[in-house]
């Protein structure tokens, strides 16, 4: 049944004076609830229609990733979980305080409409962004598993983690997932890292870390098992990524810009200015903004108290700042203009556009991630072999005096490689 939001607004204002009356409390609360529901239906109908379509795609990606990776399920951030479970109800809850302030006469109807519409718009945009980013993450993981029999090995509870808050306590930033690719090794994936962390008693990196948090790629990929990307004793204090993946869900993302204030506009000490990472940041900014030196860029940003960067410039800055060994891949839901695409590709950023929710379009990205599967020299691999072969290996180990199966296998491989080299020589 259709509702008249303006008529309900008048009734809410009239009933507002009864909010403190116990006899009318239930009736008044029901009226305010109906008003909030009607407002969302009236002002967010189109957004909700699109959101529900995206949610269906996202749920399908979750089911596929869980099945192919052998996971128990997917853990979502509380905000996103609420939106996915019931997007309309989620938006209605966002209007709770505003509706009661309006009912009590603390804001006019025009003020309420302006504030409520902004809250709805922000919530839809934020959650749609999380949905698309999560869909890309899950789809890539599922395609890797489908192609190479990959299995989830981290976290130990076997849930794919899309949530981020609270996981970086104690000065550690763990991955969202680590996948074991049969016969190739491991690959670690981080979602929206680096993140804010608790430093405890240490304040050495508190200021510099704000810069990292302000410049945070969507997905970072590492070869091997990487359980913590933080390297506080190094400059820069983060492990160099192998690949960055950036996700763009909006059709006009390339004309949008962001004001990067706060940490970039703060004055730097002489010690901070000597930091190799910070010098790299300002060198990258000077290149992107067209300044001749990092010092010029720094002075201009300080004067402006921040800097406005377009989305393509921000992605370029990620590459200059983090210097991923394989560069970056940008996944765009919509088509990207040729000149924007060419400009990004000149900066080691490969563009996969017009993806929509077509998982096949992400196969090249999954192939790139799969090619990173390997070892970092820290992992130990469990290899299952038939009992008869294990007995032969044990006998060889005793015969050559090896202290372990690993040493025996190494000796065998060294011998084989030496014989192959001798055969090639003549």
Query: What is the mean pLDDT, run by run of 10 residues, along the chain of 426 residues?
Result: 87 79 78 96 96 98 98 95 98 96 92 97 97 99 95 93 68 89 93 67 52 78 93 77 98 90 62 67 81 80 78 92 94 98 96 98 98 80 72 80 78 85 79
Task: Determine the pLDDT at residue 199.
Answer: 46
pLDDT of residue 420: 84
* Contact predicate 241/222, CB 8 Å: yes
Asked if residues 214 and 262 have their Cβ atoms less than 8 Å apart, the reply is yes
Looking at residue 363, what is its pLDDT?
98
At residue 208, the pLDDT reads 54
* Strand, helix or coil for residue 188: strand
Strands 177-181, 185-191: pairing kind: antiparallel
Which pLDDT score, from 0 to 100, does residue 197 have?
Answer: 58
Of 142, 270, 292, 285, the residue nearest 215 (C-alpha): 285
Q: DSSP letter for 155, please.
A: S
Strand ranges inside 197-318, DSSP E = 219-223, 243-248, 257-260, 307-310
For residue 96, what pLDDT is reported? 95
Q: How many CB atoms lie within 10 A of CB 227?
A: 12
- 302 forms beta bridges with none
- Decide if 370 contacts 147 (C-beta within 8 A): yes
Q: Which residue from 13, 169, 184 is spatially nearest to 100, judged by alpha carbons?
A: 13
Cβ atoms of residues 181 and 150 within 8 Å: yes
- Compute CA distances 165 → 113, 118, 188, 194, 240, whole Å: 32, 25, 18, 12, 23
In this predicted structure, what is the pLDDT of residue 202? Answer: 44
361: which 2 tokens?
A: 């379009």
Q: What is the pLDDT, as a whole number, of residue 266?
A: 64
Taking only Cα atoms into account, the Rg of the chain, rounded to an integer number of angstroms, comes to: 27
The partner residues of 221 in beta bridges, in order of sequence, read 189, 243
280 backbone dihedrals φ, ψ, rounded to 5°: -65, -40
């Amino acid at each position: 049944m259709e509702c008249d939001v303006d008529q309900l607004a008048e009734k809410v204002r009239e009933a507002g004076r009864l909010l403190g009356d116990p006899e009318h409390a239930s009736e008044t609360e029901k009226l305010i609830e109906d008003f909030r529901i009607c407002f969302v239906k009236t002002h967010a109908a189109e957004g909700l229609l699109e959101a529900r379509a995206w949610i269906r795609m996202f749920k399908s990606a979750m089911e596929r990733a869980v099945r192919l990776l052998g996971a128990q399920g997917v853990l979502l951030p509380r905000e996103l979980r609420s939106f996915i479970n019931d997007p309309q109800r989620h938006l209605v809850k966002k209007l709770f305080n505003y509706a009661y302030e309006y009912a009590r006469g603390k804001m006019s109807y025009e003020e309420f409409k302006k504030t409520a519409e902004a809250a709805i718009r922000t919530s839809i945009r934020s959650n749609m962004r999380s949905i698309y980013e999560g869909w890309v993450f899950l789809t890539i993981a599922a395609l890797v598993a489908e192609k190479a029999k990959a299995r989830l090995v981290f976290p130990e509870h076997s849930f794919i983690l899309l949530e981020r808050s609270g996981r970086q306590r104690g000065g550690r930033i763990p991955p969202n997932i680590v996948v074991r690719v049969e016969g190739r090794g491991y690959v670690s994936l981080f979602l929206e890292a680096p993140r804010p962390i608790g430093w405890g008693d240490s304040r050495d990196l508190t200021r510099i870390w704000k810069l990292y948090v302000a410049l945070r790629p969507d997905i970072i990929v590492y070869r091997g098992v990487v359980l913590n990307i933080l390297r506080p004793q190094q400059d820069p204090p983060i492990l160099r990524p192998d690949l960055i993946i950036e996700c763009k869900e909006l059709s006009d993302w390339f004309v949008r810009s962001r004001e990067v204030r706060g940490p970039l506009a703060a004055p730097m000490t002489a010690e901070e200015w000597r930091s190799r990472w910070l010098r790299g940041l300002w060198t990258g900014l000077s290149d992107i903004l067209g300044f001749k030196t990092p010092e010029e860029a720094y002075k201009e940003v300080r004067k402006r108290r921040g800097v406005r960067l377009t989305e393509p410039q921000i992605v370029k800055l990620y590459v200059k700042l983090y210097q991923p060994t394989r560069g970056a891949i940008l996944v765009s839901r919509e088509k990207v203009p040729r000149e924007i695409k060419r400009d990004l590709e000149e900066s080691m950023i490969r563009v996969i556009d017009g993806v929509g929710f077509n998982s096949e379009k992400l196969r090249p990205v999954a192939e790139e991630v799969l090619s990173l599967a390997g070892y970092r020299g820290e992992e130990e691999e469990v290899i299952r072999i038939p009992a008869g072969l294990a007995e032969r290996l044990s006998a060889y180990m005793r015969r050559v005096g090896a202290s372990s199966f690993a040493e025996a296998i190494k000796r065998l491989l060294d011998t084989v490689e030496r014989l192959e080299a001798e055969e090639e020589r003549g």
